[in-house]
């Protein structure tokens, strides 16, 4: 059911009208909230429901009213101002600007799409959504067998709650896997099974008592984790990025109690934290007593050079908390992640959270343990690394062939996504044009705590769930949006 937006008009003290906006923002969609807000306000202005001379609520007022972050509102307002829909008057506020009305259209002119409101002219043919996995190569038959075997195991475990840290067999397999693939030395007793990275982060906030304390994280960085920090009442210290990772000068000057970092594949820019910065970050933790939260979300998929060891593998004083997930390497729908806690923190967790039950189904955990014991998981990772590398190479070839100097590729050495730095066009403009052609791309702007105009010049392309043919077609469709004439006859396909 679609909620009808409300418009509540209030009379200001200056005699003007101040409007309270209540759009329906759908948080479950992949489209960023700032983009939904931008399109909603733009449509209200174009269709005459928000008239010139109406004063909009301040960023603070609207973010409080909609229960979204300030950067969400700021990003939408900034884009609307840059396109001339809004104007900011010093010491007065943000107002709806005068815009030239579209000429009235004769009914017979409706066949000319250039005169119509910008709407997708066709279904989405290629969706570059990040987070999808390859379906064709997934070992569904073997996974179903492991699920069946798990349910068929003898004794009464099926009618009982899971072990509170997670099933021991799975924790043992994860411990062995991490040592072999990521250089992480751990015992099953240090591992805690969780239902996703955000669940992991909420637990860590409580274990480290981060509420009200400063937490540093990369800027830009993973918004899903940032939202957990905000909900937990943490003070977020955004740390700017350099070519070899986050700025250590900012870390050393901060009063952070913990640092969240993605060192093996920075999210979303893709750079690798250099070895010198890794050692400096570890020394910061040793000297200050702070903790490093390492999110190794897709460390298995590196396409150039040698595999990058985890930061945790260098930790000699147990100051790194390691996060892993099966969402990228196996299946997002499992909701299966894990934390490797230093022994002292695991002791604290065991005492403080003794009454907490395990949140992940023991059936899923036992099936995953069987899948790993059989060797199928390692075979799956090897297959997917080759498959994703082929897709990655196809994406880079298509970009080079069709987009050329129109874009700059960012973060192309590993992972399941890349960024494109656009030249001469904004993210929103390209997104709109892309939808007209049937290709959907995404803005990474919500990964900034404090969005900048530069953030509106990137698009994010996830390729894990696309075929090589779809990747090529999607890039060609994008290219046709950037050039005056289409490079290929898309309609012939």
Task: Report how far residue 412's alpha carbon sits from residue 416's, in angstroms, rounded to the nearest whole number.
Answer: 9
Question: Is residue 431 a contact partner of residue 400, using CB atoms and an 8 Å limit?
Answer: no
Read off the CATH number of the domain in which 400 is found.
Answer: 3.90.1150.10
Average pLDDT over residues 299-316: 81
Closest CA to 477 of 442, 436, 444: 436
User: 224 and 285: one domain?
Assistant: yes
Specify the number of domains making up the chain: 3
- Same-domain status, 353 and 433: no
Residues 231 and 279 in one domain: yes
Classify strands 93-96 and 54-56 as parallel, antiparallel or unpaired: antiparallel
How far apart are the C-alpha atoms of 321 and 345, rounded to whole Å? Answer: 9
| Whether residues 229 and 329 fall in one domain | yes
Overall pTM > 0.75: no
Residue 28's alpha-carbon distances to 25, 32, 33, in angstroms, are 9, 10, 10
Spell 74-107 as b/e; 16+ CB within 10 A means b: bbbbbbbeeeebbeeeeeebbbbbeeeeeeeeee
Binned at pLDDT 50, 70 and 90, residue 74 comes out as: confident
Q: Do both 354 and 461 map to the same domain?
A: no
106 found inside a domain: no
Together in a domain, 175 and 323:
yes
Cα dihedral 433/73/461/405 (nearest 10): 60
Beta-carbon count within 10 A of 461 CB? 22
Burial call 400-435: b when 16+ CB within 10 Å, e when fewer: eebbeebbebbbbebbbbbbbebeebbbbbbbebbb
For position 75, which CATH number holds? 1.10.10.10
pLDDT 10s digits, 389-426: 999 999 999 999 999 888 999 988 778 899 999 988 88
As to burial, measured by CB atoms within 10 angstroms (0-12 exposed, 13-18 middle, 19+ buried), residue 29 is exposed
Cα–Cα distance for residue pair 7/19, rounded to 1 Å = 7
Q: Is residue 318 part of a domain?
A: yes
Q: Is the dihedral of CA 214, 215, 216, 220 positive or negative?
A: negative
| Structural tokens at position 134 | 């390859």
**Contact indicator for 447, 458 with CB cutoff of 8 Å:** no
Read off the pLDDT of each residue in 349-364 and give the average, rounded to a whole number: 90
**DSSP 8-state symbol, 4:** P
The count of residues in the chain is 493
Whether 201 and 344 map to the same domain: the answer is yes
Which residue range forms the structural domain that includes residue 412?
118-136+379-492
Average pLDDT, the chain: 84
Instruction: Assess whether 328 and 443 both reside in one domain.
Output: no
Question: What confidence tens digit (pLDDT) does each residue in 21-54 have?
Answer: 888 888 777 678 888 898 889 888 888 888 888 8
> Do β-strands 17-22 and 214-219 pair in parallel, antiparallel, or remain unpaired?
unpaired
Same structural domain, 242 and 330: yes
Domain final residue, candidates 47, 64, 96: 96
Nearest to 234 by CA among 210, 253, 255: 210
At residue 34, the pLDDT reads 85
Round to whole Å and give the CA distance between 415 and 385. Answer: 10
């Amino acid at each position: 059911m679609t909620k009808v937006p409300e418009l509540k008009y209030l009379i200001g003290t200056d005699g003007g009208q101040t409007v309270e906006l209540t759009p329906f923002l759908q948080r479950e969609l992949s489209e960023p909230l700032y983009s939904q807000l931008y399109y909603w306000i733009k449509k209200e202005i174009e269709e005459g429901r928000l008239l010139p001379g109406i004063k909009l609520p301040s960023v603070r007022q609207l973010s409080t009213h909609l229960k979204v972050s300030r950067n969400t509102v700021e990003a939408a307002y900034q884009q609307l101002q840059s396109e001339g829909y809004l104007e900011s008057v010093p010491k007065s506020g943000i107002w709806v600007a005068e815009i030239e009305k579209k000429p009235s259209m004769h009914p017979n002119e409706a066949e000319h799409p250039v005169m119509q409101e910008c709407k997708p002219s066709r279904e989405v043919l290629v969706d570059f959504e990040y987070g999808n996995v390859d379906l064709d190569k997934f070992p569904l038959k073997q996974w179903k067998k492991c699920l069946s075997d798990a349910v068929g195991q003898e004794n009464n475990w099926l009618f009982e709650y899971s072990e509170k840290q997670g099933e021991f067999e799975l924790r043992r397999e994860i411990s062995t896997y991490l040592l072999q693939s990521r250089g992480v030395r751990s015992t099953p007793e240090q591992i805690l099974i969780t239902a996703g990275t955000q669940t992991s982060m909420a637990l860590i906030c409580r274990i480290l008592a981060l509420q009200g304390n400063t937490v540093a994280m990369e800027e830009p960085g993973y918004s899903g984790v940032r939202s957990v920090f905000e909900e937990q009442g943490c003070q977020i210290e955004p740390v700017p990025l350099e070519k070899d990772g986050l700025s250590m000068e900012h870390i050393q000057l901060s009063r952070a109690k913990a640092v969240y970092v993605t060192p093996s594949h920075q999210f979303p820019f893709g750079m690798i934290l250099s070895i010198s910065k890794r050692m400096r970050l570890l020394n910061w933790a040793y000297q200050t007593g702070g903790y490093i939260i390492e999110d190794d979300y897709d460390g298995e998929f590196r396409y150039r050079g040698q595999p990058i060891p985890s930061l945790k593998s260098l930790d000699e004083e147990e100051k790194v908390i390691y996060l892993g997930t099966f969402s990228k390497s196996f299946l997002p729908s499992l909701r299966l992640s894990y934390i490797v806690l230093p022994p002292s923190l695991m002791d604290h967790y065991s005492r403080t959270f003794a009454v907490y039950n395990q949140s992940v189904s023991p059936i899923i955990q036992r099936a995953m343990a069987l899948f790993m014991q059989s060797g199928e998981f390692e075979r799956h990772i090897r297959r997917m690394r080759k498959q994703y590398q082929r897709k990655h190479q196809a994406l880079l070839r298509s970009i080079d062939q069709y987009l050329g100097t129109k874009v700059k590729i960012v973060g192309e050495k590993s992972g399941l996504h890349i960024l494109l730095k656009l030249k001469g066009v904004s993210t929103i403009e390209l997104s709109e044009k892309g939808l007209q052609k049937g290709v959907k791309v995404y803005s990474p702007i919500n990964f900034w705590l404090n969005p900048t105009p530069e953030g509106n010049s990137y698009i994010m392309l996830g390729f894990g769930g696309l075929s090589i043919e779809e990747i090529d077609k999607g890039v060609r469709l994008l290219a046709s949006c950037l050039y005056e004439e289409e490079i290929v006859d898309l309609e012939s396909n």
